[in-house]
Amino acid sequence: MTTARPTRHRYRPPAPLGGRRRATESPLRRGATAFAFLAPALIILGAFTVWPMLSALRLSFTDASGFGEPEFVGLENYIGVFTDPDILNAVTNTALYTVLFTPLAVVSALGLALLLNNPRLPFRGFFRTALFVPFVVSFSVAAFAWSYLVDPQVGLLNYWLRGFGIQIGNVLEDPTLAMPMVVLVAVWKLFGFYFVIFLAGLQDIPPSIYEAARMDGAGAFSRLRNVTLPLLSNTMAFVLIFAMIAALQAFDQIYVMTGGGPYGSTQTLVMEIYESGFRKLDIGFASALSYVLLAATLVLSLVQFVFFGRKEKDLA
């Protein structure tokens, strides 16, 4: 971390500075300075996120319902999580959702960002703005609008597609199509967000590097592979991790559009958590399930960190 880095590539993230510049400063003092900067955020996160997380952890070993004194039940809730067939179904669905959503959202965002980074494209300012607009629509409103669009009776999309001879039927009531549909809504809503982050990452790459690559005779594809993508890996890791977390916690549009149906085919883990907690009032079970999800997310994220960490040491 503290070894000298070449400064000629200005796009490369530098090592933290405080330590090197003030090598004479005691570690205690450096720690105190850092803590002063971190304190407000850590107090907020500690009180309003970490503390409730720890409470939830405690509740996951009880039969808590929200009323009265919870009783300690040991690992019963966790055993329940691993033996309940509904949970297995939710795990499968969540995995499917994640596998569909993450690449689709990331690739479409990256592709559009690459294309719209081309200064020769007419109206690119307009396209950039327009493609971001879905992000400002809330999930519940987005879900509502899409449900109306694909409504089998009065939906415009169904009607138009029928004109082309395509019958998509009742998408949200179709056990094979409902999942792709709710994924599509999430991609629609969120890709603009990832798109903007990619655009920012692309603009971080100095044009001089492209010039150099071009002079070396690299074609467009080779420049993409050997210059753009490696230099974007930091951004890519960032987007991938947040896209994956969003996918693993899929809830909002599903709650509105299908309620987990048909036949539980869009029932995700967070839908299960919500149902156990807020419908069956089984907070203990909901908390245990949440911790299993947390553990899974952590493992998957660390895998990604390690994978990208090899390319970009400064990530974590």
Partner 1 sequence: MSTARRSLRDLKPSTVLATLAFAVVTAIVLLPIAIIVLTAFKPAAEVNAYPPSLLPDDWTLANLKTVTSELPFARLVGNSFVFAGGVTLFALVFDSLAAYALARLDFTGRKVLLVAIIATLMIPFQATLIPLYQLVADLGWVNTYTGLIAPRAADAFGIFFLRQFFLALPRDIDQAARIDGAGEFRIFRSVVLPNAVPALLTLGLFTFVNNWNDLLWPLVFTTDAEMGTITSGLTQLTGPSGIVPHGVMMAGSLIAILPLVIAFLFIQRRFIENIATTGLK
Partner 2 sequence: MKRKTVLLGGAGGAALALLGSACSNGETGGPATLTFWHGYTEADGDVLQGIVDDFNASQSDITINTEVKTWASIDDTLLTALSAGEGPDIVAMPAERLPVYADKGAFAELTGFYADDSSNTANLIPGAVSMIEVEGTKYGVPTGFVPLAVYYNTALFEAGGVTDFPGTWDEWVAAAKQLTIDEDGDGTPEQYGVVLPDHATVANGLWPSLFYGNGGDIVKEEVDAVIDSPENAATLEYWRKAIVDDKISPTGIDGVGADELFGAGKAAMTIGGPWMASIAAENGIDCAIAAIPAGPAAQAASAIGVSMAVTVDADDNARAAAEKFFAFFLNDENAAAWSLGSGWPPLRTDVPAEAVNSNPVVASLTEIADLGRPLLPGVVNSVDVLAAVDELTQRAIAGEDIAGLLAEAQGTIQDALG
d(Cα 29, Cα 18) in Å, to the nearest integer? 11
* Residue 212 binds to partner 1 (criterion: CB under 8 A): no
Q: Does 19 bind partner 1 (CB under 8 A)?
A: yes
Side chain identity at residue 157, one-letter code: L
- Cβ proximity of 1 and 16 under 8 Å: yes
261 binds partner 2 (CB under 8 A): yes
Residue for token digits 């655009």?
199
CB 223 within 8 A of CB 239: no
For residue 262, the minimal CB distance to partner 2 (Å) is 6
Residue 279 interacts, among partner 1, partner 2, none and using kind-specific CB cut-offs from 5 to 8 Å, with partner 2
Among 130, 281, 298, 316, binds partner 2 (CB under 8 A): 281
**Least Cβ distance, residue 99 to partner 2 (angstroms):** 25
String of contacts with partner 1 for each residue 112-131, x by CB under 8 A: x--xx---xxxx-xxxxxxx
What span, in angstroms and rounded, lies between the C-alpha atoms of 165 and 162? 5
| 2-8, Cβ contacts within 8 angstroms, sequence gap of 24 or more | none
Helix (H, G, I), strand (E, B) or coil at 62: strand
Q: Tokens for 223, please give them.
A: 């420049």
Within the chain, strands assigned E span none
Indicate which of partner 1, partner 2, none lies near residue 166 (CB less than 5 to 8 Å, by partner kind). none
| Contact with partner 2 (CB under 8 A) among 19, 80, 152, 180 | 152
Q: What is the helix (H) or strand (E) element at residue 21, kind and residue range?
A: helix 18-21
Task: Please report how close the Cβ of residue 275 comes to partner 2 at its closest, in angstroms.
Answer: 7
Tell me the site size for partner 2, rule CB under 8 A: 22
What residue ranges bind partner 2 (CB under 8 A)?
Answer: 65-68, 152-154, 169-170, 173-174, 259, 261-264, 275, 277-281
